[in-house]
Structure formats: structure tokens, C-alpha cells
Amino acid sequence: MSNFSNFKNLFSIPNETIYLCGNSLGPPLKSMGNAVNEFLEDEWGQELVKGWNSKGWFSQAKSIGNQLSTILGAQEDTIIVGDTLSTQVFQALTCALKLNSNRKYILTDSGNFPADIYIAQGLLKIFDGKYEIKIVDPENIIEAIDDEVAVVMLTEADYRTSRLHDMKKITEIAHNNGALTVWDLAHSAGAVPINLENAKADFAVGCTYKYLNGGPGSPAFIYVSPNHLNSIEPALFGWHGHIAPFDFSLDYEASKDIDKMRIGSPSIISFASLKHALDIWDDIDLQELRLRSIELSELFISEIEKLSLNFTLACPRDPQLRGSQVSFRVENGYELMQALIEKKLIGDFRAPNLIRFGISPLYIGSKGLPPTNPLQISVPPLNEMIHASGFTFSLNHSNPSGGKGDPVEPKDCILFILLFFVKSIPSFIQNR
């Protein structure tokens, strides 16, 4: 059983800050600075240009991809790291369309991240009307898959509501109808268990700066099923994707393996921070991470709803149908979130009225709560459990045996501080 409290100590989060925004940008490891400085001083600083060979920089796009493969349930040498998520969407989608060029539609849903749809819209201009985009409601995806669909392009976890698509089921239905799949894992990689091989996904892409904590702008990744590696030709030809890049031939010939999805020189400094962030995943059981995420999310939702505020749960009620994010629709959501951020509780807002809270057990916890069945805990009335002066306060909660638990330190609590601030937010907004 993973002891997630041990992981909490690895992350650098400012004192008295409750960070619930890892669904947008994960926090750094405390040791990240040392890892990057070691790269700057010992690798780049000492090896200079020799580092491409002596330190293996040239091969890191694949070696870090193999680190990700263990997290994403993929075979070795099927994931490459580099470039941006939009670039990887472009690569995956064009490859899929070329494999299914006799079909008409790119099928996606209204819950997809807009940038993915922008990429598809741009491709329509390149292909000059050969394809069309069909956008349906998320719940209508399955019935919309027919023999005219070339590619089903979906984000596994909705960026607003955290609603999860059933990757395995949808991929199976797509294949039964002759369509291919492109999965965006931006909001699910590092948050929920993923098994690309078991799901028989054709292509998958994702970013590494959210739940994987690689840092702002850390590189994206692309997965290609072994079934397609030999037959695909990427749309973007690049030096690093050439079968013999150092021959400097004027004619392009793509690599025969996943390297063919590479384009140009990656940011090796970003690789240094990403690799360091991924190293901790060797000790993380994704199934246990998922269970703890559900426990914390259920507790979070339950206690917010006890306040009888004008909050509408925007994510699925069933925890098996959502990722590791809790979302509410609320009037004055932007003002509310800004007030919370000002008080050092950091979530985020998405127009028109959605507030989002990312739940990552790696650095979020509730000290004193049992590892299972947190809803059995009896929580006293708010006015009885909060003694506050600014942000310096302590809380006591009852444990299942009826005794008092240890005081809950601010940084150890994901819940009670939010209750206090939400309770006081109307007057706070009014006085701004």
C-alpha cells in the first residue's frame, strides 16, 4: 500500500498554500532545482556540445518516452517525447487520416479541448474539403460512429467536467466500424490508470506539465500503436525523425520506429526536469493512486454540498465516471476563485461559470483521515471546528472511535480551509 504522505514531502508548495490546480500545472519537486542545476553544471557546463553523445541527449526523446510507457500501459518504444501537444495532435490526426483516407469525417465531441478541434479545422484547409468535422455531445459519441467516420478524436477526461470516456469501449466500437482513434490524455495521464495496449488505442497524445509535474511548457508525447508504426508517414518531416540524421542527405527518409515521429531538436533542459519528475513514478501504484483520489474527491464534494450553497456539481456524480478533478458551476465563479486564490487556496476558473479543483494524492491529503471510507468521519458544525485569525488556525475533527484527532495543519488539509473561505466569500466579494 502506497504511503502518499511520504510523497507530499517531495513537493515544493509555498507555506500555508492549498494547491488544487495540478490539473492545470503540477507543482515542482523540491529536488527539481538540484536536478536542473546538475544538468546545467555537470552536463551542459562540462560536456558542452559533447553532451549529445556522452550524456545521451539525442536518445532522451525515446528513453523518457519509455518511462511514460510504464505509466500509460504501452509497449516499449511506442512513445516519443518532444514538441507541443498541438503539434502532436497534428501529427497523430494526419497519420490517422492517411491510414483511413477513404472516409469522410473526423468525429469529436463538444467536451473536447478546443485546441484539438482547432488543429482539425486547420487540417480541413490543408486537405481542401476532403474531410469534415462532426461535433456531437459526449453522450452521443458511440451512436455517431459509423462507416463514414475516419477518425474518432477525443479527450479522455473532459477539461471542464472531468467526465471520463470509456477508452476501451469506444476504441472497440470505432474499430468494429472501420474507424481509428486519437486519444488526448492531457487530463488523465498521471491521474487515472491508463492501458493503451489493452484498449488497443491507435494514437494517443498528451502533455506532461499537469499531473505528471514536468514543469511549465514541459514537452508533450505521442503514442503510436505497434500495429501502425511501419505503415504511417508523419506529416511533419524533421531532422531528428530521419533514419540517418547525421548523413545530412537532402532526401528525407523516415526512421523505421517511433523515432519517425520526432521533428527537430527538443529542449534538453525541459527533459532534465521531466525525467526527474517521472523518476518518482517507479514507486507509485496507479490503482492505489486512483482509489485515494476518489476518496478525497468524494469527501470534498460531500462537504461542499453540506453547505447548501448555490453550487451545481459539474462533474459526474459517479466517481468511476470522472477523472481526478472536481468542478462546480457557480454564479460569480471568477470572483469566487480569485478570492480563494488571494487567500492561498489555488484552483482555477473556466468560462462561463466553472470552478475547478484538481485532486492529486501525491501532494494533497487530509491529515488524520483514515485511508479508507473517509465519509464515515463525523464533521462538527463549521462554527464549532474553525478558530481563525487570517490564515493561522487549527482544526479538530472527530475520528471514527469518537475521540478527537490531532490538529490539522493548513498544508495538510484539502477541505476545511475551503469550507471556511467559501462560507465567508459572499461578504468578501461584496467588500472588494
Q: Which residues are designated catalytic?
A: 113, 184, 209-210, 356
Residues 6+ positions from 258 with CB-CB distance below 8 Å:
62, 65, 77, 78, 79, 80, 224, 229
Instruction: Work out the angle at residue 131's Cα, subtended by the Cα atoms of residues 128 and 132, and round it to the nearest 5 degrees.
Output: 110
Lay out the sheet containing 149-155: strands in order across.
79-81, 221-224, 203-206, 180-184, 149-155, 105-109, 132-136
Given the C-alpha cell 506539465, which residue does it identify?
209
Q: DSSP for 334-358, please give it.
A: HHHHHHHHHTTEE-EEETTTEEEEE
Helix/strand/coil for 302: helix
Residue with cell 503540477: 26
CB 72 within 8 A of CB 196: yes
Per-residue b or e along 138-158, where b marks 16 or more CB atoms closer than 10 Å to that residue's CB: beebeebbeebbbbbbbbbbb
Question: How many whole angstroms separate alpha carbon 18 and alpha carbon 111?
Answer: 28
> For the chain, what is the radius of gyration of the CA atoms?
23
Q: Tell me the pairing of strands 132-136 and 79-81.
A: unpaired
Cis peptide before 352 (omega within 30 of 0): yes
Query: 222 φ, ψ to 5°?
Result: -135, 135
